[in-house]
Amino acid sequence: MIPAAFEYYRPTDMAGVLSLLEEHGDDARVMAGGHSLIPMMKLRMADVPHLIDLQSVVGLSDIEIGADDIRIGALVTQHDIIDNAALAEVAPILREAALQIADPQVRYMGTVGGNVANGDPGNDMPGLMQCLNASFLVVGQDGEREIPAREFYEAAYMTAREDNEVLTSVTIPMPKGGYAYEKQKRKIGDYATAAAAVQIVKDGDICVSAAIAMTNLSDTPIYSAGACDALVGTTVDDAAIKAAMAAMLGDIDPTEDNRGPVAFKKHVAGVILRRAIERAWSRA
C-alpha cells in the first residue's frame, strides 16, 4: 500500500528538527531509519502530514565507549552495532541481539534510536535496554532530559517522550557478568513470539545480581524485578530458574494473534527464558 501524501524535510541540525516540530505540532513525526514508521504509514496506521528525516543531522551516528558507560547515537544502525569490534568486546550482548533483528537489509538501515523510540512492543532493543538499565536522552525546545529505559514505555506506541522531543542517544552502564539474548520467531525477519535478555553477575557460585527483560509478551517490554530476585542469592539451580520463570509469567500479559494463542506464548516464554538464564549463567 502507498502512504498518504506528506511533506518531507531533511534538516541538518537539531535546531532545524525542533523548529519543524514546533511549527507543525501533532502533524509532524521524526524518522531515523524508517523501518518502524514507514510500514505503519503504508498501512495507513500512521497519518504523518510532515515527515522529518534525521539522517543528515550531524552527531547522531557515533558510538562512544567510556570507562563506565557506552553512548550510542540514535542513528547508529543495527549493522553498526554488529560491525563494531570494540563494542562487541565490552558489550557482546548488543551484537548478539542485533544479529537476531529482522534480516541484513533491515539491519543496514534500521537504527537503535528508531527501534527504542517508537514504542513498538515487538521491537528487540527496548527489552534489551531495560535489561541493561540504559537511559535515553531526549531533546526538546526546553532542553535535554534523561529517561530510564525501565520508565520509558507506557503502552503500545506510547512512551514518556513528548511529541515535541527527539531521542538523540542511548547510554548504557558498562555491562558486567554473563549475558544472553534468546529469541523465538516463526521465520527470518519476523517479530519475536518471545525474546529474553538476561544479564547475571556471580561471586563464586552465587548469583549476586540479575537483570531480566522480555519482549512482545505484553503491550510494553517487561522488566521483571521478581524474576531477578528469584535468582539473586542462589546457585541458579533448577528451583531458582523455575521461580524466575514463574515470576516472569506472572508479569507478562500476552494476547492471541497470528503467532499463537495465549497458552502457547506463555509456554514459549518459559522455554526462551530458561535458555537465556542458563546461557547467561554459563558465561558469568
C-alpha to C-alpha distance for 116 and 80, rounded to whole angstroms? 16
Give the pairing type, strands 69-73 and 135-140. unpaired
CB 54 within 8 A of CB 17: yes
Pick left, alpha or beta for residue 260 (phi over 0 → left; psi -120 to 50 → alpha; otherwise beta): left
User: 178-283: which CATH architecture?
Assistant: 2-Layer Sandwich (3.30)
pLDDT tens digits, residue range 191-243?
999 999 999 999 999 999 999 999 999 999 999 999 999 999 999 999 999 99
Cell 531533511 identifies what position? 10
128 φ, ψ (degrees, to nearest 5): -60, -45
> 7-53 sits in which CATH class?
alpha beta
pLDDT tens digits, residue range 26-65?
999 999 988 778 888 888 878 899 999 999 999 999 999 9
Residue type, 208: V
Q: Domains of the chain: which residue ranges?
A: 7-53, 63-173, 178-283
pTM over the 0.75 mark: yes
**Max Cα-Cα span within the chain:** 61
pLDDT at 45: 77
The verdict on domain 63-173 having CATH code 3.30.1490.20 is no
